[in-house]
C-alpha cells in the first residue's frame, strides 16, 4: 500500500517573509545576520524583499539560502523551491510585452469610461446645469432691485424749499420715497419733486419687485434757513 506524505503549506508566505520572520524571532538585525553569515546586507535585504533582479547567479543564492536555513532553523529545500518559483514568476512578469501593459491600461480606462458611466456623467452634468439655471433664475426673482440715483447728491446743503429726485430702475419695480409711491416711465426712469423742511431731511427710497426683497436707499439733505 502506497504511503502518502503530508506536505505543509506556507499559508501564502513568500521566501522573503519566511527569512524575515525567522530573523526577527532570533533577534537578528540585517547587519548582525550579514556579519554572522558573511553575506552582504544588500543581498540579504534583496532576498527578504523578493528583489531577485538584484541578486547574482543561482549558485551564490543557493549557498546563501543554505547558510540562512542553518542559522535561522529553516528548511533548506523549501527555501530553494520557493526561490525558484518566485524568481520564475518574477521573470515572466518582467517579460510581459509593453503592448500588453498598454492594453491593460486602456482596459482599465475603458472600464471606467464606458457608455453607461458616460450616460450617468452626462445626466449628472445636465442636472447640475439645470439646478444652476434655476438658482440663477430664482436669484433674479428674489434679489432686491437696483436703483441708480442721478440727483441730488448725498449730503446736499440747500436753501430751496424743494428739490427733484431723479433716477433709473427696472420698469416692473414698485418705487416709493418716504412711503409715497412714485410713478415710473416706461423705461424705468423717474422724476419726483419733494418738499423740504428746514433742517435735516432724511429721504428714504425703497424699491421692490413682486417677489423680491426690498432695496433701501437713504438721502440726507440739509435745508438751511433763509435769513
Where residue 65 sits, what CATH number does that domain have? 1.10.260.40
d(CA 42, CA 31): 9
d(CA 52, CA 16): 10
Asked if 33 and 57 sit in the same domain, the reply is yes
In a domain, 68, yes or no: yes
Asked if 66 and 104 sit in the same domain, the reply is no
Asked if 90 and 103 sit in the same domain, the reply is no
Count CB neighbours of 12 within 10 A.
6
Here the cell at position 33 is 545576520
In a domain, 2, yes or no: no
Q: Rounded mean pLDDT of the chain?
A: 82
In a domain, 90, yes or no: yes
Structural domain containing residue 105: 99-142
In a domain, 200, yes or no: yes
Among residues 142, 157, 176, the one where a domain terminates is 142
Asked if 89 and 109 sit in the same domain, the reply is no
Where residue 161 sits, what CATH number does that domain have? 2.60.40.10
CB distance 61 to 55 below 8 Å? yes
pLDDT tens-place string over residues 115-170: 566 667 778 888 888 888 888 877 777 888 899 999 988 889 999 999 999 999 99
pLDDT tens-place string over residues 23-66: 999 999 989 988 998 889 898 898 888 888 888 888 888 888 99
This prediction has a pTM of: 0.41
d(CA 178, CA 89): 89
**Nearest in space to 166 (alpha carbons), one of 179, 149, 183:** 149
**Nearest in space to 81 (alpha carbons), one of 5, 9, 3:** 9
**Nearest in space to 176 (alpha carbons), one of 147, 140, 137:** 147
Asked if 218 and 159 sit in the same domain, the reply is yes
**CA dihedral over 89, 91, 94, 96, signed as positive or negative:** negative
Give the per-residue pLDDT at 3: 40
Domain count, the chain: 3
CB distance 157 to 224 below 8 Å? yes
Amino acid at each position: 500500500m502506497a504511503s502518502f506524505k503530508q506536505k505543509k503549506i506556507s499559508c501564502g508566505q513568500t521566501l522573503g517573509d519566511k527569512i524575515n520572520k525567522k530573523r526577527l524571532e532570533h533577534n537578528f538585525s540585517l547587519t548582525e545576520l550579514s556579519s554572522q553569515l558573511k553575506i552582504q546586507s544588500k543581498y540579504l535585504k534583496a532576498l527578504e524583499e523578493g528583489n531577485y533582479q538584484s541578486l547574482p547567479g543561482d549558485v551564490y543564492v543557493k549557498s546563501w539560502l543554505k547558510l540562512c536555513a542553518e542559522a535561522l532553523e529553516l528548511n533548506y529545500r523549501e527555501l530553494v523551491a520557493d526561490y525558484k518559483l518566485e524568481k520564475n514568476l518574477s521573470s515572466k512578469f518582467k517579460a510581459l510585452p509593453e503592448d500588453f501593459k498598454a492594453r491593460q491600461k486602456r482596459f482599465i480606462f475603458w472600464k471606467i469610461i464606458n457608455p453607461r458611466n458616460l450616460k450617468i456623467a452626462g445626466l449628472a452634468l445636465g442636472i447640475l446645469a439645470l439646478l444652476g439655471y434655476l438658482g440663477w433664475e430664482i436669484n433674479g426673482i428674489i434679489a432686491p432691485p437696483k436703483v441708480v440715483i442721478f440727483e441730488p447728491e448725498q449730503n446736499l446743503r440747500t436753501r430751496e424749499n424743494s428739490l427733484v429726485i431723479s433716477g433709473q430702475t427696472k420698469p416692473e419695480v414698485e418705487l416709493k420715497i418716504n412711503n409715497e409711491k412714485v410713478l415710473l416711465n416706461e423705461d424705468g426712469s423717474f422724476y419726483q419733486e419733494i418738499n423740504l423742511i428746514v433742517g435735516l431731511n432724511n429721504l428714504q427710497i425703497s424699491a421692490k419687485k413682486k417677489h423680491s426683497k426690498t432695496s433701501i436707499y437713504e438721502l440726507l439733505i440739509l435745508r438751511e434757513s433763509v435769513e
